[in-house]
């Protein structure tokens, strides 16, 4: 009888998984959950689903929830368990190529991300109005394309924040997982629009890149790990635009941080209005402010550390998981996999604003490695210092430097404009945010953005002076210079434009009255760690071959890398030409769009977005033109290195006697 029951259960259980009740408590890329469902990726690389509502069991069918009493058992997601599209011959034709299969999944508010063994991203997005829906294998806006997760990554996660609106469906989402608003630093509740975001912790552990459905399809936007990139992340989990990270510091201490961050709230989103002014008397209990209205206070909170002092040392892993518990910034539960003092397996948990952690035993959880990625003491320091020169200013005789700058800085980590005038110095805070552009390289964009061998990063910035620097009664020379040259831009949101990489930064104000240029020389370790040289040296420096067969294999390997790097460089050139044409078309079409959106009275977002994009698009047009004209020294060095090694190996091969 027991055997019969087990056999029947196996019919509804994904291959490789036993029936699990209650749900698996830690989110990962083989298992994920929402309030309504538990999702699993089976060993057969198919996606399975089971309902968690015993009173009203449902499943998904073409994007809609469908009542099904059998849905409490494991069954294939949307009947097939893989990404599909409609075709003339078949209703559900697989989007996977030959030899391609699903290797990871992630779920947020019943929207499903599937990643294949080629790192390609597929999305099941029931928020669209049409029914029945199919999966998408081309993503992004305004121009969609294939999206690939960075191949060299430590961790990634998926999050969604969404507000009810006529243009989208949310009826399939449990009310507790419709994250409809956030509170800014003035305590005002602002509606979300729709922000479904993938966050990726890169190989160095110091950078987190992200993409959301309203952005061009690449991972060219990002921010640094806690403490300005000095910590090295181990694992991330995200929910409701909140990222939970475990990270090692320079003393090898495992620490835990959270941060609320996405493209709608970070100060960069065209069409939204931001402010750096503190307004403490606003009613935090008022109704939410609709998208496109009101002024959102910047900077955001930034990284917040969560102390683990009440947990015995050595009982925590780096595996983290974050879960929605309702509305508001504080409606998140944090979980860390570990063991208690009795060495029972389980996880520690707390609400995000609580101080103390509690332990929940769960013997299904493995004993995880505390830090799977050891701290790298040779890692590059993220913040760089640049020397500068004044191109244009009302008082151009001052000296200036840029300190602690990185192209992935956000409003929460200001860099410093260090101004020196006749022996007096002042440090001015410059808060940078992303600059929206159309640029989206399909692969390697995360490594070739904001660096000389790739392309510069476009940023916007706001200058925020201190009360002392604003004090007009000061009679010092440096204060007079600040009043004349920098005061006009104080708290003028995104009135400063930057085009920046790791060697050069061009800064100009929107009115064109202040222009600065900064530069620095790359260190030898930075060159060694650069994209092209690092890949070339990895094969050039392989151990010397011991026989003719090994020489031949090494020749093929060097040629393979040379061809790969050449194709990447050539593809970037082709992309730059395409972006130049796209930018030109959008710049020409923008005035017409501005006229059209003048008639939209209920939602000012679109009209303002068109105006906000005027300066970024023109800047990007110039940047793309300059990119097409510039040389790439590190690519040429890599090419020369590989060609010399191939020639050396071919001569060695010719020296062996014929068989």
Taking residues 425-446, report their average pLDDT.
Answer: 93
List the one residue out of 503, 495, 504 whose CA is nearest residue 391: 504
pLDDT in tens, 148-207: 999 999 999 999 999 988 889 999 999 989 999 999 999 999 999 999 999 999 999 999
How distant is the alpha carbon of residue 529 from its chain centre?
A: 22
Query: Please, are residues 321 and 26 in contact by the beta-carbon 8 Å criterion?
Result: yes
Rounded CA-CA distance 81/45 in Å is: 8
What pLDDT, on a 0 to 100 scale, did the predictor assign at position 112?
98
Rounded CA-CA distance 558/560 in Å is: 5
**What single string gives the DSSP state of each residue in 546-607?**
-SHHHHHHHHHHHHHHHHHHHHHHHHHHHHHHHHHHHHHHHHHHHHHHHHHHTT--S--HHH
Residue 299: is the preceding peptide bond cis (ω within 30°)? yes
C-alpha distances in Å from residue 186, one per residue of 275, 277, 287, 301, 526:
10, 9, 14, 11, 41
Place of tokens 């699990």: 20
Taking residues 570-584, report their average pLDDT.
Answer: 87
- For residue 16, is pLDDT > 50? no
Rounded CA-CA distance 202/531 in Å is: 14
**Sheet containing 232-239: which strands, arranged edge to edge?**
232-239, 242-248, 254-260, 304-305
Residue 479: strand, helix, or coil: helix
Query: Please, are residues 621 and 583 in contact by the beta-carbon 8 Å criterion?
Result: yes
Structure tokens at 322: 């974050």
Rounded CA-CA distance 90/87 in Å is: 5
| Secondary structure element (H or E) that encloses residue 337, with its range | strand 332-339
| Secondary structure element (H or E) that encloses residue 647, with its range | helix 633-655
- For residue 252, is pLDDT > 80? yes
Residue 138 sits at φ, ψ, to 5 deg, of -125, 125
- For residue 602, is pLDDT > 80? no
List the one residue out of 103, 33, 39 whose CA is nearest residue 335: 33
How distant is the alpha carbon of residue 55 from its chain centre?
A: 38
Taking residues 97-111, report their average pLDDT.
Answer: 97
Rounded CA-CA distance 639/499 in Å is: 28
Mean pLDDT of the chain: 91
Indicate the DSSP class of residue 93.
E
Q: Which residue has the higher pLDDT, 19 or 66?
A: 66
- For residue 519, is pLDDT > 70? yes
Taking residues 72-84, report their average pLDDT.
Answer: 96
- For residue 407, is pLDDT > 90? yes
- For residue 357, is pLDDT > 60? yes
Torsion of CA 102, 104, 106, 111, to 10 degrees: -10
- For residue 18, is pLDDT > 70? no
The pLDDT confidence band at residue 280, using thresholds 50, 70 and 90, is confident
> How crowded is residue 632: how many other Cβ atoms within 10 Å of its Cβ?
18
pLDDT in tens, 498-510: 999 999 999 999 9
Q: Which residue has the higher pLDDT, 177 or 14?
A: 177
CA angle 286, 214, 413 (to 5 degrees): 70
Residue 523 sits at φ, ψ, to 5 deg, of -75, 165
What pLDDT, on a 0 to 100 scale, did the predictor assign at position 90?
77
Which of the residue ranges 119-128, 196-205, 239-248, 361-370 would you say has the lowest mean pLDDT?
Answer: 361-370
**Extended strands (E) in 11-67:** 31-33, 37-41, 47-51, 58-61, 64-67
What pLDDT, on a 0 to 100 scale, did the predictor assign at position 17?
35
Residue 28 CB-half CA count within 13 A: 17
What pLDDT, on a 0 to 100 scale, did the predictor assign at position 86?
86
- For residue 10, is pLDDT > 50? no
List the one residue out of 66, 181, 173, 180 whose CA is nearest residue 127: 173
- For residue 596, is pLDDT > 90? no
Structure tokens at 638: 């890599």
Which of the residue ranges 10-24, 119-133, 256-270 would you say has the lowest mean pLDDT?
Answer: 10-24
What pTM, to 2 d.p., does this model score? Answer: 0.93
């Amino acid at each position: 009888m027991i055997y019969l029951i087990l056999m029947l259960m196996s019919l509804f259980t994904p291959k490789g998984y036993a029936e699990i009740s209650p749900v698996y408590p830690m989110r990962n890329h083989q298992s994920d959950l929402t309030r309504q469902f538990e999702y699993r990726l089976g060993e057969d690389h198919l996606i399975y689903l089971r309902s968690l509502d015993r009173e009203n069991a449902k499943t998904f069918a073409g994007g809609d929830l469908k009542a099904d009493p059998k849905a409490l058992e494991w069954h294939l997601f949307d009947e097939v368990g893989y990404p599909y599209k409609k075709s003339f011959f078949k209703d559900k034709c697989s989007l996977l190529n030959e030899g391609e299969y699903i290797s990871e999944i992630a779920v947020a508010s019943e929207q499903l991300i599937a990643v294949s063994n080629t790192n390609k991203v597929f999305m099941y997005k029931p928020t669209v109005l049409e029914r029945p829906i199919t999966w998408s294998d081309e993503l992004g806006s305004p121009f969609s394309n294939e999206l690939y997760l960075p191949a060299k990554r430590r961790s990634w996660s998926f999050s969604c924040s969404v507000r009810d609106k006529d243009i989208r469906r949310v009826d399939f989402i449990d009310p507790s997982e419709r994250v409809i608003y956030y509170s800014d630093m003035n305590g005002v509740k602002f509606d979300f629009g729709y922000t479904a975001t993938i966050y990726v912790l890169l190989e160095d552990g110091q950078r987190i890149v992200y993409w959301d459905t309203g952005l061009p399809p690449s991972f060219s936007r990002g921010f640094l790990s806690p403490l300005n990139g000095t910590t090295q992340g181990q694992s991330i989990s995200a929910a409701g635009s909140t990222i939970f990270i475990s990270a090692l510091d320079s003393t090898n201490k495992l620490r835990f941080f959270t941060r609320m961050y996405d493209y709608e709230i970070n100060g960069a989103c065209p069409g939204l209005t931001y402010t750096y002014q503190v307004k403490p008397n606003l009613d935090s209990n008022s109704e939410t402010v609709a998208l496109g209205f009101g002024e959102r206070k910047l900077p955001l909170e930034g990284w917040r550390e969560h102390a683990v002092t009440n947990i015995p040392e050595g009982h925590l892993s780096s595996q983290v998981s974050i879960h929605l518990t309702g509305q508001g910034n504080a409606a998140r539960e944090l979980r860390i996999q570990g063991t208690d003092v009795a060495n029972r397996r389980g996880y520690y948990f707390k609400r995000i604003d609580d101080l103390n952690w509690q332990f929940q035993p769960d013997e299904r959880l493995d004993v995880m490695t505390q830090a799977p990625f050891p701290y790298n003491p040779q890692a590059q320091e993220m913040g760089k210092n640049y020397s500068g020169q004044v191109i244009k200013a009302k008082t151009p005789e001052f000296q200036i430097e840029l300190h602690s700058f990185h192209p992935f800085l956000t409003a929460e980590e200001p860099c410093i404009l260090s101004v020196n005038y006749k022996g007096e110095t002042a440090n001015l805070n410059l808060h940078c945010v992303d600059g929206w552009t159309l640029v989206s390289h399909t692969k390697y964009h995360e490594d070739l953005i904001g660096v000389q061998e790739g392309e510069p990063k476009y940023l916007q910035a706001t200058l925020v002076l201190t009360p002392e620097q604003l004090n007009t009664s000061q009679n010092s020379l440096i204060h007079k210079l600040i009043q004349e040259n920098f005061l006009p831009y104080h708290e003028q949101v995104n009135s400063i434009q930057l085009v920046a990489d790791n060697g050069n930064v061009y800064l100009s104000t929107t009115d064109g009255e202040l222009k600065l240029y900064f530069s620095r020389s790359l260190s030898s370790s930075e060159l060694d760690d650069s994209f092209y040289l690092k890949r070339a040296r990895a094969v050039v420096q392989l151990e010397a071959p011991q026989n003719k067969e090994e020489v031949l294999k090494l020749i093929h390997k060097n040629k393979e890398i040379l061809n790969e790097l050449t194709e990447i460089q050539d593809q970037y050139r082709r992309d730059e030409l395409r972006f130049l044409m796209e930018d030109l078309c959008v710049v020409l079409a923008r005035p017409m769009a501005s006229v059209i959106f003048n008639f939209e009275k209920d939602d000012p977002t679109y009209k303002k977005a068109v105006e906000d994009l005027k300066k970024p698009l023109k800047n990007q047009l110039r940047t793309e033109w300059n990119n097409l004209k510039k040389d790439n020294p590190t690519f040429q060095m890599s090419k020369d290195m590989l060609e010399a090694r191939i020639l050396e190996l071919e001569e060695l091969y010719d020296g062996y006697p014929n068989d």
